Amino acid sequence: MEITAEQSLLIIQRIAAKAREIKIPVTIVVVDTAGHIKSLQRMDDALLGSIDIAMAKAKTAMLFRNNTESVGEWFTPDAKNYGIMNTNGGVVGFKGGMPVRSGDQIIAYIGVSGGTSDQDFEIASAGSKF
């Protein structure tokens, strides 16, 4: 099951509502399970640097079917996965990217950027279940 535009917009609304609640303007990206962008919304006053980071988080989560902070464990110096961060056109390993699940199934991936990575995680989580 592939995400619909209607679902994607609803996910963005939920995430944006959470962002407004904690007063952190963010960029929100939704990609399908193949990584192709479905929806993007940059909230007013979000940092311009958040656009590319939100895209990178959604892409990374999709590439490894996982939360970005979990992927980040492969990026530590101890993991010795030299160069892995440069693959796939550049990936990121910190909070803010995750799958969107409907029941057990992943229907999309989201990326949020604009606050600290903890804030981005909290905000993105508002859109991770459908």
Residues at the site binding a copy of itself, with contacts judged by CB under 8 A: 4-5, 8-9, 16, 32, 34-44, 47-49, 51-53, 56, 60, 62-65, 72, 75-77, 80-94, 117
Pick from 118, 124, 13: nearest CA to 61: 124
Nearer to a copy of itself, 21 or 49 (CB): 49
CB of 25 to a copy of itself, least distance (A): 9
Q: How far apart are CA 35 and CA 20, in angstroms?
A: 27
Nearer to a copy of itself, 38 or 128 (CB): 38
What's the CA dihedral at 110, 111, 112, 116 to 10 degrees? Answer: 130
CB of 41 to a copy of itself, least distance (A): 5
3-state secondary structure of 27: strand
The count of residues in the chain is 130
CB of 66 to a copy of itself, least distance (A): 9
Q: Are 60 and 71 in contact (CB under 8 A)?
A: yes
3-state secondary structure of 114: coil
CB of 129 to a copy of itself, least distance (A): 21
Nearer to a copy of itself, 81 or 105 (CB): 81
Nearer to a copy of itself, 53 or 123 (CB): 53
